[in-house]
Amino acid sequence: MALSQKMDLISGQTGVIDSISNQNDVLVDKTLSELGLSRDSYAEDVHEALVQRVTVIDELLYELLERPDLSTMSNVCGKLCETALKVYTPQKGLFIKKEKVVELLEKQKPDNMLKHFSYSSSQELVDKEGFSSVVSALRFTQSTEWMHKFFSTAYKDLKSDDFEERDVEIKILEDKWLEVADKFLEKKYHNVSHLKEYGVIFIIPLKTDTPGETMRMFALLLHYLHEVPFYSSLFRRFLYNLDFISKFQALLRGDVPEGAIPDDGDGKIVWRVVQRYLAKEDENDFRLLEQHVNPEAEHWFRVGQDLGRLARMTRRDESSLTVDYWKSLDCVGDFFKNKNGEEVFISFDLMDLTMSLVRKGQVKYSYHQREALWNKIFFEYVGRERMNQFIEDNIINGFIEL
């Protein structure tokens, strides 16, 4: 039985998939009209017109944030952080105590970093360079082998007393970290990342001199302001479980069950919980074709709401396609013929387009749109609030049974 038929039976609804398809058509047509295009337009022209609108928004955001120069913002983050926290302020989170982290780093010394700075101990390293800078830089100064060993051994004896409630911290690293960060940046394709267990969101101070980089950086910052507290709430939920450490490590790894979805007999249906973007690792991963929900896509939905709030706060309406408008396009896309007569899928999702813009068209992204669409299918049947509760309740075992 088809997915839609099973979900119709379970939910008591009919026509959900048709409704989603019709909504997509309406938004595609409306957007094309705004762009002066039509369904007969070439895929290249549709994508270019969408990207050009993102370019305009990126320029407006760059000015709104007072032309951020990351090389000068390690001590005072300024308008960038002020604006992000104004549109969304996360609650305190549950993170490993800083002194405990130093203790762990003394047991397994970050040799590359100690050697680079000529420090004799991890305590001296943290005292001189700062906690958030040091834990952030572990990602790109230490080897993969070191990181795997630290992750598997340092955390295995953590106890509830080793955690504390504190604010999420945004840290723009000092210029001196750029040289050692090069390898990391090549792998991640962007200069913003986070450390769930420490409550740190860090930004490597690259120049924002490429179209789209300001939007990408700001949106990623907002994304992590949602993601870090989400995982922190799960840490808090499992903290006193006997198997807390295994759950803690599974959440940090972003585990997704590797086997097929269990048999959905007895009239039930099972959805997979995918807590990371599998398409970034393997576009052909079979799990992407199965019914699934993704908390990452929900974080991006909330970023869309944040950007809409920012648009209303700043009253910027120079373009008929404002940031506020884009928040409704996260799961929207369609096929268009390219100039060779081939059918090509074009995502209308803001982050897919932003990533494409930064990569100068070398890659046309669509994975944000696909994951948002899977989420939409699920929550149109059960409701967004219930979807999020299902995700939290089942993120460890990886499957939701309806």
State pLDDT tens for residues 51-92: 999 999 999 899 999 999 898 888 889 899 999 999 999 999
CB of 367 closer than 8 Å to CB of 349: no
pLDDT value of position 319: 44
pLDDT value of position 184: 55
Contacts of 137 (CB under 8 A, 6+ apart): 113, 129, 173, 177, 180, 181
Q: What is the pLDDT of residues 186-211, one digit of tens each?
A: 555 568 999 999 999 999 888 878 89
C-alpha distances out from residue 303 to 23, 54, 217, 298, Å: 21, 15, 12, 9
pLDDT value of position 76: 86
Contacts of 94 (CB under 8 A, 6+ apart): 163, 164, 165, 232, 233, 235, 236, 239
- Taking residue 386's Cβ as centre, other Cβ atoms within 10 Å add up to 12
Higher-pLDDT residue of 110, 316: 110
pLDDT value of position 311: 83
pLDDT value of position 209: 80
CB of 292 closer than 8 Å to CB of 271: yes
59, exposed or middle or buried, with CB in 10 Å at 0-12, 13-18, 19+?
middle
Lowest mean pLDDT among 170-179, 180-189, 302-311, 346-355: 180-189
pLDDT value of position 131: 97
β 169-172/200-203 pair status = parallel
Rounded Cα gap, residues 198 and 86, in angstroms:
22
pLDDT value of position 148: 87
pLDDT value of position 142: 85
Dig out the tokens for 213 from the structure.
Answer: 């980089």
pLDDT value of position 280: 86
pLDDT value of position 75: 84
pTM: 0.93
Lowest mean pLDDT among 191-195, 198-202, 358-362, 368-372: 358-362
pLDDT value of position 3: 87
Residue 320: pLDDT band (50, 70, 90) is very low
pLDDT value of position 321: 42
- Taking residue 165's Cβ as centre, other Cβ atoms within 10 Å add up to 12
Q: What is the pLDDT of residues 87-133, one digit of tens each?
A: 999 999 999 999 999 999 999 999 988 988 899 999 999 999 999 99
Mean pLDDT of the chain: 91
The residue ranges of every structural domain in the chain are: 1-68+242-402, 69-207
pLDDT value of position 308: 86
> What's the whole-number mean pLDDT along residues 330-359?
95
C-alpha distances out from residue 2 to 5, 14, 17, 24, Å: 5, 13, 11, 21
CB of 139 closer than 8 Å to CB of 147: yes
Percentage of the chain lying above the pLDDT 70 cut: 94
Report the run of H or E that residue 200 belongs to, with start and end: strand 200-203
Q: What is the pLDDT of residues 248-277, one digit of tens each?
A: 999 999 999 998 898 766 778 999 999 999
Rounded Cα gap, residues 86 and 308, in angstroms:
13
